[in-house]
Homo-oligomer: A and B are copies of this chain.
């Protein structure tokens, strides 16, 4: 081989290695730093044969909170928007509700008054808008709504408001044999209606606050299930750890959250033996998304109650705090 040929070959190899290295970055929207390194190191440690922290493929469980962790939760949960949007349809079917609170306020269209509805009001609204229909009708309604509804700030479908770095984390974990689960305080059925398309997560891997169903027969004699106004699983706080045990039966190896509702899931994950990683998203990017919680020093907002106490717990417990501002190169795919 001549010197020139050798040089050309060497350059080709170098170029190939560089391309491969870039192609291999599984988290391109994450800035290099301690957070990204913690995730990559965890995945390598738990999936490399012979590693002392190796986890067999069938035991690889990764759980993700949804609201505020996988997509925007501020200033109001998407599911609450859905419930409010459904009120006119429900009132049309049951006109007697038009003069009953909180439905009267919702029907008034007075945004300020709607903004002041209490949690109790919202539960009442949820119960009449999320129950009483066959499960297949409910799924179809949610899918229709989510395809059309738009977030007022970005003027885009809510499903566009998922965080690109988290989508990458989902794919990266799956590519390494992890089963990825959503573990949400929101409605299990609601999230299942779009999770497969939005996150690549099938319904059987969505654990959420679950409303019961009732088995019955249609006029054609065929059986179907109707959503009932009874709560089977309150998938918040301790309910997240209990729900994981009920629905998955394994302790996660890695978990992502962003609020006090995720605290027990993160503790429970971190409390297992072997390699465990708990991560918590800090909303400190008022420009690209929102800043709230301990990042602002302001009192808690109604949603995303990442309190200072939780922040301190995270630091004490060895959780990784994800700074949206510093750790994420891009927040949304459309940027």
Chain A residues with CB under 8 Å of chain B are 58, 135, 179, 188-189, 192, 196, 202-204, 206, 210, 212-215, 222-225, 232-233, 238, 241-242, 245-250, 264, 267-268, 271
Contact = CB atoms under 8 A, between A and B. Distances in A.
Given A204-B204, A204-B249, 7 more contacts: A204-B247, A210-B246, A213-B246, A215-B238, A215-B242, A225-B242, A225-B268
A215 B264 contact: yes
A245 B135 contact: yes
28 contacts: A58-B202, A188-B246, A188-B249, A189-B249, A192-B249, A203-B248, A203-B249, A203-B250, A204-B247, A204-B249, A204-B250, A210-B246, A212-B242, A213-B242, A214-B242, A215-B238, A215-B242, A215-B264, A215-B268, A222-B271, A223-B264, A223-B267, A224-B271, A225-B241, A225-B245, A232-B232, A232-B246, A247-B247
A61 to B, nearest CB: 8
Nearest to A242: B213
Nearest to A205: B204
A271 B136 CA distance: 13
B264 A213 contact: no
B192 A223 contact: no
Q: Which of A58, A196, A212, A246 has the most chain B CB atoms inside 10 A of its CB?
A: A246
Contacts of A250: 203-204
A50 B248 CA distance: 34
A198 to B, nearest CB: 14
Nearest to A263: B223
Contacts of A135: 245
Contact of A248 (B204, B242, B268): B204
Contacts of A247: 204, 247
Nearest to A317: B221
A196 B58 contact: yes
Given A203-B248, A246-B232, A241 B264 contact: no
Given A58-B196, A204-B248, A247-B247, A271 B223 contact: yes
Nearest to A221: B271
Contacts of A267: 223
A250 B202 CA distance: 10
A285 to B, nearest CB: 31
Contacts of A249: 188-189, 192, 203-204, 206
Contacts of A233: 232
Nearest to A271: B222
A242 B215 CA distance: 7
A181 B161 CA distance: 34
Q: Most chain-B Cβ atoms within 10 A of its Cβ — which of A196, A247, A267?
A: A247
A249 B192 CA distance: 8
